Structure 1
Amino acid sequence: MKAIVHEGKKGMQGLSLKDFQEPEAGSGMVKIKLMTAGLNRRDLMVLNRHKEDQPPLIIGSDGAGIVIQTGDGVTNVAAGEEIIINPGLGWEKNTDAPPSGFEIVGLPGHGTFAEYITLPAENVEKKPAHLNWEEAGVLSLAALTAYRVLFTRAKVKEGDTVLIPGIGSGVGTFLLKFAKAAGARTIVTSRSQDKQKKAMEFGADLAISTTSDWNEELKDETVDIVIESIGRATFEKSLQIVRKGGTVATFGATTDDIVEIDIRHFFYGQLNLLGSTMGSTEEFKEMLDFIERHNIKPVLDSVFELDEFEIAFDKLKNSENLGKIAFRVSE
């Protein structure tokens, strides 16, 4: 089978499209013919986390396809069913944090940028009927991350004002759609005027520049929740703009991981600071129900063939996308 494989060198230099052994479904597993797969920033990090002396690795966490084989003991899904992959391995119930042993598809095990994959049967769910293959293939990781950080962690409610710095990411666009569906007012930021404009078309109530003076731009707003994913470049601005008693929840850092904060402002302001990552199987099912009830679809930026992986990765690395990037794996 064809697969995007990382081996031998760090970063993009170790990435290639090559023939790889096709997997078979063992006990409790399902074999999936992938139709589409989704590219995430995690895949960029995997290129450096997967070491040169480790065995070749098929990367990729998101995907959707058709079950073609089931192993012994599998009862929740049958061959021929159209499914979407839950990339979180070993986190069943909605708990305060992932359990020991929690992993994500695509490292350390093989991922979705291939024609076939085998996974535990509990990691597949029925493909939402309102999504086409490209939309289903890019959904899971970003949508689950957005769902947990917004609902489980930040506990958004109708009437809240939510600020989303850096609207270009897949998670950011899901945050916008989820918050609007929950009845919140949404403010987004971007360095790109084009992304600001498009975010307004997707339902944002206000869009401002990431590099502007937020206190001046938002002097007439009361920000209840900030969902942070940029890190050092915006973190202190996020803490300064959220209302007293408000919440800053973070799930990532596209700039430096290490941040400095005004701790006196933090404790006098009675602020809440929350971390979040991915989500449980329980939340994954809740998220799928939520998007079906509200007819939510991913913002799809572009679709590439597997042999165009270099273009796709460069586009994501340079933050040129608004929404998700997909790979078309099968016709």
Structure 2
Amino acid sequence: MKAITLDDTSSSKLNVREVPERPLKEGEVRVAIKAAALNHRDEWCRQGLYPNIQNGIILGSDGSGVVEEVSIGTEESWLGKEVIINPAINWGENQKAQNKDFEILGMPRNGTLAEKVIVPVDRLHLKPAHLTFEEAAGLPLAGLTAFRALFYQGEVKPGDAVLITGFGGGVAQLAFQYAVQANALVYATSSKKEKLDKASELGAKGVFNYTDPDWTSEALEQTGGFDIIIDSAAGDAINNLINVVKPGGRIVFYGATLGNPSEIIARKIFWNQIKLMGTTMGSDQDFQNMIQFVSENKVTPLIDEVFPFDKASDAFDKMKEGKQLGKIVLVP
């Protein structure tokens, strides 16, 4: 089968090549991939910046397709079903945090950027009927991360003022759509006008260009502060968020693309009773709740561009540049 593997001998660090298939083990299924989506972790793996890097591994955490084969003793009713795959493996029983054996599909085990992928049967979920395979492929990792950040950690409720930073990325655009469907008052930041325009089109009550040094003053003037902020950047910019969250508000961050802050306004955090929370991926229950929410509210991931496998380097380069509005998808 054709697959996109990590290859540290290649200039692109990628190799689109034929990979042998292996027999199924107990409890496994084989899914014929119809579409797979990129996440930043795929690019970080390409750059060697992710833990437990293994050369030759098939990359990719997000995928949708059709169940082609099930192992002996596995429920045969899955055969022929259109599915999406939960890439969070071995979360454990604790809803509060993943256990030490937790891993994400696509590194260190083979992932979805292949014509076929083998996964445990308990990672399968029926594809929401309103989504195409390409749209469904953009949902699992980003959708799960966004859902846990907003609902479990952020505890969003109708009427909350919610700020989604960095609108346009996979997690941010889904967190934004979830918040709108949850009847929150949703705002967004970005450095790109076209992304802010899209947020407005999707229901933003206000948008802010975070390169504008006065954006925090403008945000406070418009809103009086935010109840919840969902962020992926951290860095020194987190102090801007501390300045615009309401007393008693919650800042939930799922990444640190700007690195660690050189300093943080600690006094304002404790004086204003601000909750600063980290989050990543989500439990099996979070995934089930996310699928139900997406299906009931007809949430559709934004798709930036679809590439064939043979253009994998172009797709990864676009991810690296950060110019996408929505998910980048690859098809076999």
> Which of the five TM-score ranges fits, normalised by the shorter chain?
over 0.9
Query: Which piece of structure 1 moves more, 18-27 or 303-312?
Result: 18-27
Deviation of 1:53 (Å): 8.9
Deviation of 1:73 (Å): 2.7
CA RMSD of aligned residues (A): 1.8
Matched, 1:215 2:216: yes
Deviation of 1:233 (Å): 4.8
Letter in 2 for 1:33: A
Which one of 317, 320, 324 corresponds to residue 317 of structure 1? 320
Deviation of 1:215 (Å): 2.7
- 1:83-137 alpha-carbon deviations (Å, 9 max, x no partner): 1000000125461100120100001100100001100000011111110110011
Residue 24 and residue 233 in structure 1: after superposition, are their counterparts in 2 closer, same or farther (change >3 A)?
farther
Contact 1:93 1:282 in 2 (8 A): no
Gaps of 5+ in 2: none
Matched, 1:43 2:46: no
Gaps of 5+ in 1: none
* Normalised TM-score (structure 2): 0.94
Matched, 1:287 2:290: yes
Deviation of 1:313 (Å): 1.0
1:170-319 to 2 correspondences below 5 Å: 170-212=170-212, 213-218=214-219, 219-221=221-223, 222-319=225-322
Letter in 2 for 1:108: P
Letter in 2 for 1:217: E
Residue 9 and residue 53 in structure 1: after superposition, are their counterparts in 2 closer, same or farther (change >3 A)?
farther
- 1:281-304 alpha-carbon deviations (Å, 9 max, x no partner): 111011000011111110111111
**C-alpha distance in structure 2 between counterparts of 1:294 and 1:112, whole Å:** 27
* Alignment correspondent of 2:144: 144
- 1:37-96 alpha-carbon deviations (Å, 9 max, x no partner): 011111111221469994411000000011111012322752111110000001254611
**C-alpha distance in structure 2 between counterparts of 1:168 and 1:50, whole Å:** 23
Matched, 1:15 2:17: no
Q: In structure 2, the residue corresponding to 1:234 is in which secondary structure?
A: helix
**C-alpha distance in structure 2 between counterparts of 1:94 and 1:271, whole Å:** 25
**C-alpha distance in structure 1 between counterparts of 2:236 and 2:32, whole Å:** 41
* Normalised TM-score (structure 1): 0.95
**C-alpha distance in structure 2 between counterparts of 1:52 and 1:73, whole Å:** 32
Runs of 4+ aligned structure 1 residues displaced above 3 Å come to 49-55
Q: In structure 1, the residue corresponding to 2:235 is in which secondary structure?
A: coil
Residue 145 and residue 313 in structure 1: after superposition, are their counterparts in 2 closer, same or farther (change >3 A)?
same
Residue 79 and residue 259 in structure 1: after superposition, are their counterparts in 2 closer, same or farther (change >3 A)?
farther
Contact 1:7 1:54 in 2 (8 A): no
- 1:205-264 alpha-carbon deviations (Å, 9 max, x no partner): 111101122332112313111111012152111111101111101001222244521111
**C-alpha distance in structure 2 between counterparts of 1:175 and 1:53, whole Å:** 29
Equivalences, count:
328
Residue 56 and residue 300 in structure 1: after superposition, are their counterparts in 2 closer, same or farther (change >3 A)?
same
Q: In structure 2, the residue corresponding to 1:220 is in which secondary structure?
A: helix
Residue 2 and residue 233 in structure 1: after superposition, are their counterparts in 2 closer, same or farther (change >3 A)?
farther
Deviation of 1:13 (Å): 3.2
Query: Which piece of structure 1 moves more, 33-42 or 204-213?
Result: 204-213
Q: In structure 2, the residue corresponding to 1:302 is in which secondary structure?
A: strand
Query: Which piece of structure 1 moves more, 85-94 or 203-212?
Result: 85-94
- 1:128-154 alpha-carbon deviations (Å, 9 max, x no partner): 111011001111000000000000011
Residue 304 and residue 296 in structure 1: after superposition, are their counterparts in 2 closer, same or farther (change >3 A)?
same
1:157-176 to 2 correspondences below 5 Å: 157-176=157-176
Letter in 1 for 2:91: W
Q: In structure 2, the residue corresponding to 1:44 is in which secondary structure?
A: helix
Contact 1:164 1:189 in 2 (8 A): yes
Contact 2:28 2:74 in 1 (8 A): yes
Q: In structure 1, the residue corresponding to 2:17 is in which secondary structure?
A: strand
Letter in 1 for 2:222: D
Residue 211 and residue 4 in structure 1: after superposition, are their counterparts in 2 closer, same or farther (change >3 A)?
same
Residue 56 and residue 205 in structure 1: after superposition, are their counterparts in 2 closer, same or farther (change >3 A)?
same
